Amino acid sequence: MGFDILIIGSGVVGSALAIKTSQLGYKVAIVDSKETFPNSFRHLSVNQKSKAFFNSLNVWKKIENSAFPYEQIKVWDQEGTGFIDFNAQEANLPNLGYIIREGEIQKNLIGEFQKNNIESFWGEPLIKIDHSSGAIVCKTSKQTLQAKMIIGCDGMNSKVRELAEINFRSWSYNQTAIVTNFKTEINDNCIKQTFTSIGPLALLPIKEDESTMIWSIDDDVSYKFISMSENEFTAEVKNKFSEQIGKLEMISKRQHFPLHHLSAKTFANNGIFLVGDSAHHIHPLAGLGLNAGIGDVECLAELIKLNGLEKMKEITSSYNRKRIPINLGLAASMEAFKRGFSQKNIWVKLFRNTAFNIANKVSPLKKKFMELATEL
């Protein structure tokens, strides 16, 4: 079977790209190794720019039903006096973004495939890519598919990246993210993030009286927190937020994810493109990973629209030129934040508290942070 564009991986990034490119008039297919469509229970923050992109696909109205808007972000240091807050009013926006269950976004995107004539193949892991005959031929576990452009949206352990022999840099953040949901007494439409001595802890509102929690904990102590009873764990979280949240009750099982950094050395080569986590994966402390992936989707779709698939070399070089520096910059900021806050040195602590407080008072600096969170 032949297509213009073949997308490997139907996570949020791959599904959004499939819709956008089919709306440009291309014959698009998407392959996923999962037997049925993914329905992740993780909650993600979606910024204003990604919202505008979902709107351009005509799916935002459906996603919005399960999206919870947040109007404020408060960040502070447990071990000092550092504090910074951002709010929608200062940015002249109705809100700063939304917290949405990933599965709801996936369901609503995949629900649009038929209408947009996107062929989907489930339960078919990609096994081989063959370049030798001009067109690119992909072998899945069940069939052979051919396309002019192959796009790997197959996540951090990308098979496309491996088969295309694209090198990458990767290292462990030496932290594990523990994720769970709580019933909360107070959420005031605010994301609360505090830097504890063992890693950043955030509560993100998902309903009027519910929040999702993500605590990225240093690996030397993470097992202790994973194996604690629900009551002990809840008490630890409550202790870190003190009076800011009122009563807390855990309402979902704790899940945990090891945290790694990854950057592919190139994002495109020989008609094969990497988009989203297959190209770059960062620490979740600023909730920007998916938003960066949607940025890739927007950029690649725009380049395809401008050049057509015939000008593959132009698309390849422009995509690499535009997306690699943005994502490297983002990865460097996450690294600086993570390292800055894991320092036990008193002078570093003093410096970061002062820097936080200055940034909170100096509006151009604060505006820059806000742009990063809302417009990446």
Ligand X SMILES: Cc1cc2nc3c(=O)[nH]c(=O)nc-3n(C[C@H](O)[C@H](O)[C@H](O)COP(=O)(O)OP(=O)(O)OC[C@H]3O[C@@H](n4cnc5c(N)ncnc54)[C@H](O)[C@@H]3O)c2cc1C
Residue numbers at the binding site for ligand X (CB under 6 A): 8-14, 31-34, 38, 42, 44-45, 125-126, 153-155, 159, 177, 179, 214, 257, 276-277, 284, 287-291, 293
Cβ contacts of 312 within 8 Å, gap of 6 or more: 148, 149, 271
Q: Residue 285 gets which letter from DSSP?
A: G
What are the φ and ψ backbone dihedral angles of 345, each rounded to 5 degrees? -60, 130
How near is the Cβ of 45 to ligand X at its closest, in Å?
A: 4
Using an 8 Å Cβ cutoff, are 374 and 100 in contact? no
Distances (CA, A) of 343 to 173, 195, 302, 349, 352: 14, 11, 42, 7, 10
Using an 8 Å Cβ cutoff, are 155 and 257 in contact? no
Nearer to ligand X, 108 or 291 (CB): 291
Closest alpha carbon to 4 in 310, 269, 315 = 310
Q: What is the largest CA-CA distance in the chain?
A: 66
Cβ contacts of 334 within 8 Å, gap of 6 or more: 261, 282, 283, 285, 286, 288
Nearer to ligand X, 91 or 217 (CB): 217
Nearer to ligand X, 214 or 370 (CB): 214
Nearer to ligand X, 130 or 314 (CB): 130
Using an 8 Å Cβ cutoff, are 63 and 225 in contact? no
Nearer to ligand X, 40 or 357 (CB): 40
Nearer to ligand X, 351 or 369 (CB): 369
Distances (CA, A) of 152 to 92, 170, 261: 37, 18, 18
How near is the Cβ of 282 to ligand X at its closest, in Å?
A: 8
> Residue 365 class from Cβ within 10 Å (0-12 exposed, 13-18 middle, 19+ buried)?
middle
How near is the Cβ of 24 to ligand X at its closest, in Å?
A: 20
Nearer to ligand X, 145 or 214 (CB): 214
Nearer to ligand X, 271 or 284 (CB): 284
Using an 8 Å Cβ cutoff, are 220 and 197 in contact? no
How many helices (DSSP H) and strands (DSSP E) are in the chain?
11, 20
How near is the Cβ of 31 to ligand X at its closest, in Å?
A: 5
How near is the Cβ of 351 to ligand X at its closest, in Å?
A: 28
Using an 8 Å Cβ cutoff, are 257 and 156 in contact? no
Nearer to ligand X, 80 or 125 (CB): 125
How near is the Cβ of 126 to ligand X at its closest, in Å?
A: 4
How near is the Cβ of 3 to ligand X at its closest, in Å?
A: 15
Q: Extract the runs of DSSP E, i.e. beta strands, from 142-246.
A: 144-152, 168-184, 190-196, 199-207, 210-218
How near is the Cβ of 4 to ligand X at its closest, in Å?
A: 19
How far apart, in whole angstroms, are the C-alpha atoms of residue 222 and residue 129?
39
Tokens of 230: 């629900």
Nearer to ligand X, 216 or 316 (CB): 216
How near is the Cβ of 62 to ligand X at its closest, in Å?
A: 18
How near is the Cβ of 348 to ligand X at its closest, in Å?
A: 26
